[in-house]
Structure 1
């Protein structure tokens, strides 16, 4: 059975499916994630949902049993695959929504951090416990988490390696939406549908401006926003959006 399942459509779904191992990140799972991202990139998807088929976990992090068997050379080869997998998720051309339940630890939480939005249910437990194992987060955690929640909260989570339950995670901004148990996939999919219903040109340019603006000062960020506005305002999507509004109908994005 495949470790990753992919369904395409206007809202695509990438489902972690290494159920017996609670989606522990193996070399094979990472490789299949790269392939799945490629399938979605070639599809007509306007948004993506990253989900888990495991009942008690989103992803528990790296497969330490596999890693313990690797030579140093094999470990470094796996590292390249892992970096490509996280990068493939971060660089998806359309917004990605993570649907999290149960454990999302280490590389598992970093998979969620690679997404644009994180929906988690009440069973979720997140954390970056790598320092407890003598390593550091390697899937983007030390960079993505401070950008999401600021230095202090990120340092608290990363340097202690502690686990955070859903309610506190929502309060600290570690997740974006907290939903009742079992509602993570449904809510994430509905959120992705709302995104997909909007202008693909506008969504893409707005997302680009948000991401680019994170690493520059306000003046430079406003220039980035102006470029995104100019790239959008003369598009056929903008013309169709105005027509649809004045004609009281849903837009048919070109």
Structure 2
């Protein structure tokens, strides 16, 4: 069941809007919120063509709720980390394009969650940080894979050792976000992007989400072969033929 104390879900015109709903805790992630995210994504049907992911209040997400997780035993930490991995993986590979709006702190687990989204809009108030080294802990929600892929292992190591903050502008340059928005304008821009994405072929969106990341993990030859198979699958569908014909005849841009 969706825990509305932790997460709010609304749907409008085929776009689901998920809001992390613990503003007093800077949307720090606890077990209830992880389970709510999982339940929300499992509840999205074929009528949902894109997802907006936002955080209530001044911050997107301050990461792991240390108040709930400061005295766990090693086996508990292992299980929590693996649970985060599964939920974030399912978010990234559900087949639903996810557009995240980032403001204020995008810290630790909040950055791990943000990078599971496919399109990221950062308002100028956003800042990115991995302070785990300063807290005596280590990342556990996938940062060593997702963050390191984007900014490199060397830069990620420096972030963790020093607690360095990157501004919204710096995050965009590094690839932690794709779009920069003025304060309060992130949701408008993200909604426009989500509507544009929702107009794509559902199969094309699915292929972009499923294929590109996996091809990145392959050898060059395996990746090229998989790309050819994916292109052959999509280009031969009736919908693809209709869309290409509409473009060629000037009916669409």
What SS class does the counterpart of residue 54 from structure 2 fall into? strand
Q: In the TM superposition, what are the counterparts of 1:8-157 in structure 2 within 5 Å? A: 8=11, 9-40=13-44, 42-54=45-57, 56-68=58-70, 70=72, 74-157=76-159
**Unaligned segments of structure 1, at least 5 residues:** none
Aligned-residue Cα RMSD (Å) equals: 2.1
**Who is 1:192 aligned against?**
194
TM-score, structure 1 normalization: 0.89
Structure 2: how far apart are the matches of 1:75 and 1:221? 35
Please, which of 238, 241, 244 is the counterpart of residue 240 of structure 2?
Answer: 238
Deviations along 1:176-220, one digit per CA (max 9) or x if unpaired, are 111111111111121111111111112222333311221123332
Contact 2:93 2:209 in 1 (8 A): no
Deviations along 1:101-120, one digit per CA (max 9) or x if unpaired, are 01010001110011112110
Residues 1:2 and 2:5 are matched in the alignment: yes
Contact 2:121 2:177 in 1 (8 A): yes
**C-alpha deviation, 1:30, in angstroms:** 0.9
Deviations along 1:203-254, one digit per CA (max 9) or x if unpaired, are 2223333112211233322212111111101112112213433554469xxx
**C-alpha deviation, 1:157, in angstroms:** 2.2
Structure 2: how far apart are the matches of 1:100 and 1:130? 20
Contact 2:81 2:141 in 1 (8 A): no
Over 3 Å counting, the alpha-carbon distance change for 1:136 and 1:70 in structure 2 is closer
Q: In the TM superposition, what are the counterparts of 1:156-235 in structure 2 within 5 Å? A: 156-235=158-237
Contact 1:153 1:172 in 2 (8 A): no
**C-alpha deviation, 1:69, in angstroms:** 5.3
Structure 2: how far apart are the matches of 1:128 and 1:98? 19
Deviations along 1:2-24, one digit per CA (max 9) or x if unpaired, are 21111234222111111221111
Deviations along 1:55-80, one digit per CA (max 9) or x if unpaired, are x1000011111113555565555444
Contact 2:125 2:168 in 1 (8 A): yes
Over 3 Å counting, the alpha-carbon distance change for 1:108 and 1:195 in structure 2 is same
Structure 1: how far apart are the matches of 2:157 and 2:78? 26
Q: In the TM superposition, what are the counterparts of 1:241-252 in structure 2 within 5 Å? A: 241-246=243-248, 248-249=250-251
Deviations along 1:143-185, one digit per CA (max 9) or x if unpaired, are 1112222333333323433221112212222211111111111
Structure 2: how far apart are the matches of 1:86 and 1:27? 13
